[in-house]
Amino acid sequence: MDDFSQAEIDNIVKAINAEPEKLEEIPLRPEGHYVSRVAFSPLEGEKPKPLAELTGREKSRFGSLRASVEVVFGRTKMTINELAALEKGSLLPLDDLSDDLVEIFVNGKLIGRGEVVVVGESFGVRIVTLK
């Protein structure tokens, strides 16, 4: 690294000690300009095809995609203290067990409801309704 000349050192010291330049104040929101929601009109002819209408080629493009499927059969709310007290073997009481049907979610979106069934030694869900 090269050494600084005395003139360069003097310029650096002068710059450090100089008054900062005052910038023109810019208002956050100019008078009369307000943010509003945008309303989009529906696109004509841009409705997605129902799965039954997809061609074999179209279906094959999606065949290897993976989706996260979740089945929820109850919910509860707990305080942070109650959560902190949980340990292995703790039981979670469920507040919401409405109509004994479980909710089926795909990638976080509710797609239907079903009933829990036993298949051999495993549990499964029989779909009752699809949205």
For residue 49, being part of any structural domain is answered with no
For residue 127, being part of any structural domain is answered with yes
What's the domain count of the chain?
1
Mean pLDDT of 46-61: 72
C-alpha 63/C-alpha 66 separation (Å) is 8
For residue 84, being part of any structural domain is answered with yes
Put the strands of the sheet holding 102-106 in their side by side order.
Answer: 69-72, 102-106, 109-119, 122-130
> Does the pLDDT at position 78 exceed 60?
yes
116 close to 124: Cβ distance less than 8 angstroms: yes
For 67-95, the DSSP string reads: --EEEE--B----HHHHHT--TT-----S
**% of the chain exceeding 90 in pLDDT:** 15
For residue 106, being part of any structural domain is answered with yes
For residue 60, being part of any structural domain is answered with no
The CATH code of the domain that includes 80 is 2.30.330.10
Mean pLDDT of 50-71: 79
122 three-class SS: strand
For residue 6, being part of any structural domain is answered with no
Q: How many contiguous H segments (helices) and E segments (strands) does the chain have? A: 3, 4
For residue 126, being part of any structural domain is answered with yes
Could you tell me the residue range of the domain that residue 127 belongs to? 67-131
For residue 112, being part of any structural domain is answered with yes
